[in-house]
Structures are given as structure tokens and as C-alpha cells.
Amino acid sequence: MKTSFFVFLLITLNNLLYGQYKLTPKFAIECTNVKNQQRTGTCWSFATSSFLESEVKRLKNIDVDLSEMFSVRTTYIDKAQNYILRQGKANFSEGSLSHDVINAVQRVGLVPESVFSGKTDGETIHNHSEMVAACKGMLNGLQKQKTLSPKWKKALTSILDVYLGKAPDKFNYEGKEYSPKSFAAFLDIKPKNYTSYTSYTHHPFYEKFVLEIPDNYSNGIYQNIPIDELEAVLDYAIANGYSVAWDGDVSEKTFNHSEGLAILPADKERNDLWDRPGAEIKVTQNLRQETFESKSTTDDHLMHIVGIAFDNKGTKYYKVKNSWGTSNVFKGYLYMSEAYFKLKTVAILLHNDAIPKKIAKKLK
């Protein structure tokens, strides 16, 4: 009886000391407050705008709140042009990618949230369902016309003006006048300095290709590197003060925003998944390719990676800023395990200076 109690006591102490999730930060990148994309499919702009806000802090030591909806508005205009030119054989939806925000900066620039909120008529939340239906209905109607006049662009812009507001040509910010382009220049955001990376074997490594995912309407180009090097890039970036925009799959049952964890347990059926860390699956390059080609890894969501932490068993996690508000255990953040990152990452975007020299030398 005494032996049984002693064993029970040891097991209990072991669980208390090593069982439950105890995440210890190792690296942390300063970032702005968590926001909520609400009833929109604009995670891509929230994630990348947050990434750019951290870039501004790193580059200029300036705190800035960028307008996500200004980049969304700019992207919709470009997306509509693409849809018309491709005669409706293209994706026109709420989804886009990080490089589309970078492209929007290149074309038009940036503005602060205080100048362009994307909310009109006293609205308190973002809801784009009606706006997207109006835009796509008009574009589909235009496809039935034999010829088009230039007026359709003004008509589309008018829809965006009604739902999001008119884009400012000039504005005042902290006592100075800017245009969107001059504001981007003031913040030192140079689109040429940012590159997207992925890791798939249906294209050669260390070469560029257009990633075949539905939201890549703009035919964005990605550098292709092995998954171990993609992880090495991320680790190097975070360790050296660079945050990273992340694109990947959140459809797994073991992606749990409420619990603040994204994991790939070896035993998905165990009943303590969210209480204590356990063994995770071993991810290989072949497994990545299999899940991508079978569509079990899809381009679902974009977020902002801002740190690295380790649990009490030594497993590495990436601290990720989401755009679903602050009502989870980590107040809007979650921790993505190394295994989850290696399997479910579709792509990342980061500053060119955040690439280790050994890897940069291999790129064409």
C-alpha cells in the first residue's frame, strides 16, 4: 500500500513538473496589438500589415498602426482587372496573399488606420460579404458583354468607395502631410526588399516558381528551398530580430485557436492533447509533398510569426499573432509546434536581410 502511494505520488509530481504545457520564450519580436478581421476573408492583409508594422519598428523605431483595408481596397482593384482580362477564368474572392500587400505598397503606398479604417456610415465591424457579392456580380455581368468601355473601372471603384470609403490622395499624420507613397517611403518600407519562400518538390530547389494555390491570382513568385532550410531561415530571422509573415493550413483538428496551440501529435486520439505535450509526428519533405498534392494541406490562413518558445519537454514552438481577436488563452496569440510548421506551412515572407548567407548563396 505504501509503495503504491509512493508511485502515485511520483507520477503526480512528474505530471505537475513536466506534463502540462509550460512554454518558455527564447526570442520575441516586438509587434502591435492583436486585431480582429471580423467577417472578412482578409487575414492576408491583417497578417502582412502586422508584419510591416514590426518592420517599421525594427527599421525606424516608430510605432505605427497601418490600415489593412487600404491594401485590401487596392488589391480588389487589381484583382478585378485580372478577372476581366482573363475573361472570368481567374479567382475573385476575399482571399489573397502576403505578396499582394507588398504589391499594393509598390503600386499605391500605405496609410495609417486613423486615415482609412475601411468602415463607413458608422459601422463598428468589418463585413465584406455584400461588397464582394456586388463586385463579383458586376464583373460576371461584364463578362457577357462583347466589348467593354473604360467606365467599368469607375463603376467598380464606386462600389469600393461606398463599402470601404474613398482612398485618400493626401493626408496629415502627426503634423505632416503625406501621400500614401510618401508615407511608405517615410516608414522605409521598400517592396523590393521582401521575398516569399516555399518548399515543394514538384519544382527544383533554389529556383523561383509561381506557386499553384487558388489565392495566388497575381502569379506571385516564390523561392523554393528544402523544408529544413525553410525552418532554418525562420529560426535565423527570429533570432536576429526579424519577424515573418506565415501562410498555411489551419484546417487540422489539432489547430486549436481557443487553446492557443497548433500541434501534430503522433497520437491524435489521446484525451489530453491540450493539457500536456506529447510526441509529434516526424515530418519529411515527401510527406509535405504528399499532403500538398492530396489537398490535405491547403492555403487557408495567414498569420504573423513573432517569436520562438520551448515547452517543458524541449519541443520548439513558434509564437504566432493571429487576427481573430483576443478571446483565447493567449489573448490572440497561439503557439505552433515545429512539426506543425514543417508540414502545414505553405509559404513565408520576410526581409531579404533575414536569410542566412549560406542559403542565400544557393538561390538563383
Domain boundaries, the chain: 22-269+278-360
Q: Where are the alpha helices (DSSP H) in the chain?
A: 2-14, 43-60, 68-85, 98-107, 129-142, 151-164, 180-186, 227-239, 285-293, 338-344, 357-360
Higher pLDDT, 122 or 20: 122
Summarize the confidence of residues 123-146 as an average pLDDT: 96
- Cα–Cα distances in angstroms (integers) from residue 245 to residues 52, 308, 351, in the given order: 9, 14, 10
> What integer is the mean pLDDT of 155-164?
98
- What's the pLDDT tens digit per position in 223-253? 999 999 999 999 999 999 999 999 999 999 9
Q: What is the pLDDT of residue 21?
A: 84
Contact 247, 97 (CB under 8 A): yes
For residues 118-127, b (16+ Cβ closer than 10 Å) or e, as one string? beeeeeeebe
Per-residue model confidence (pLDDT) at position 364: 78
Q: How confident is the model at residue 2 (pLDDT cuts 50, 70, 90)?
A: very low
Q: What is the mean pLDDT of residues 158-170?
A: 98
| The architecture CATH gives domain 22-269+278-360 | Alpha-Beta Complex (3.90)
Instruction: Look at the block and give the residue holding cell 518538390.
Output: 201
Mean pLDDT of the chain, nearest integer: 94
